Amino acid sequence: MTVRIGMIGPGGMGRAHIDRIHTVIAGGRVTGVSDVVTENAAKVAESIGGRVYETSTALIGDPNIDAVMICSYGPAHKDDVIAAVKAGKPVFCEKPLTPTSGEALEIMEVEQAGGRKLVTVGFMRRFDESYRQMKAILDSGEIGETLIVHNRHRNPTVPAHYTWDMAINDTGIHEVDTMRWLLGEEIVAVRVDKPKKTSHRFEHLQDPLILIMETQSGVWIDDEIFVNNQHSYDIQCEAVAETGTIRLSDQHKIERTGTLGRHNALTMDHNQRFGGAFVTEVQEWIDAVARGEHTGSTSWDGYAAACVCDAGVKALTEDGVVPVRMIDKPQFYA
Ligand code: ISE
């Protein structure tokens, strides 16, 4: 069976997913496209021989679409996710599921009422080989309990439409989800430290910043978020446990030596750095859709991450520690 996928919001991320689905991933094909700007959707649809839909509602409602992929702007996600769930269609929604937890809660309510897990959230780092190896060692207990995790999340630049809260709910959300998954526990409190700002930023941003998180068992997590470093997409993570530490190694595949010294190529964006993880993630989703099963992060994960981000956004404008508020995990997502 070829899963017929409807793509909502074919911007950079959406087009990258389409390329992967049509070149290296098996079992799926993007057959329909919609976008708030219909001409964009029409161009992409034409390039893949697919159908263009005037609205996302029309795309979701078409019986010739088996599953929906949402790659639009975060604030636009909720209504389309809910429409897909109500139509009984599996939906892969890029992160964040929703920028705030209240909207994610609405999604969970509709999904639970339908009685079937249909929502997968695009937290791709869970599929990255290096993070997976790191988790396997921590889970084995070989080096004891994890005590501290240091993270660095750096981008070369961000566009002018990147708002001040996105440092937390669009960028830091990756570490929020990855830490919940890596440690297998919830984050209960956050704080944001605000160092000297780079001159290479749009005025409205606090850049860089340090997001400090604490888990249920007391693990202390720091995350340097620096989205205008001018040089590379640089992701680092080091877990400090009782009798050892594990760190993601450099992501370069080769090292070159010459008259200018020894150096390696740097990745410049998430598609380069996490290309393999995206392929595994989307392949697993398509396989699960074909089997009628659910895979990947659930709407609970989207909700829990949004709760931590809500607290993080609050901590951006306030001093001190902000507690994370979330409902108890419904049995449905256990
Ligand atoms: C972007 O949306 C991503 O998901 C990238 O991985 C992240 O590094 C960037 O800051 C976000 O804006």
3-124+276-298 belongs to CATH 3.40.50.720? yes
Residue 276 pLDDT greater than 90, yes or no = yes
pLDDT single digits (tens) 80-104: 999 999 999 999 999 999 999 999 9
Q: Are 34 and 70 in contact (CB under 8 A)?
A: no
For residue range 137-186, what is the model confidence (pLDDT) as tens digits?
A: 999 999 999 999 999 999 999 999 999 999 999 999 999 999 999 999 99
Written as six digits, the tokens of 182 are 């890596």
- Regarding the beta carbon of 175 and ligand 1, being less than 6 Å apart is answered no
**Cβ pair 93, 145 in contact under 8 A:** no
Provide the mean pLDDT of the chain: 97
**Pocket flag, ligand 1, residue 171 (CB < 6 Å):** yes
Q: Does the pLDDT of residue 250 top 90, yes or no?
A: no
Ligand 1 atom with minimal separation from the 227 CA:
10
DSSP assignment of 17-57 equals HHHHHHHT--SEEEEEEE-SSHHHHHHHHHHHT-EE-SSHH
- Residue 29 backbone phi and psi in degrees, to 5: -150, 135
CA 25 to centroid of ligand 1, rounded, Å: 23
Q: What is the dihedral of CA 268, 273, 278, 281, to 10 degrees?
A: -150
Across 55-76, average pLDDT: 97
CA of 271 to the centre of ligand 1 (A): 10
Is the complex ipTM higher than 0.90?
Answer: yes
170 lines ligand 1 (CB under 6 A): yes
Considering the four listed CATH numbers 3.90.1200.10, 3.40.50.300, 3.40.225.10, 3.30.360.10, the one that applies to the domain covering 126-268+305-333 is 3.30.360.10
What are the extents of the domains in the chain?
3-124+276-298, 126-268+305-333
Q: How far is the CA of 246 from the centre of ligand 1 (A)?
A: 24
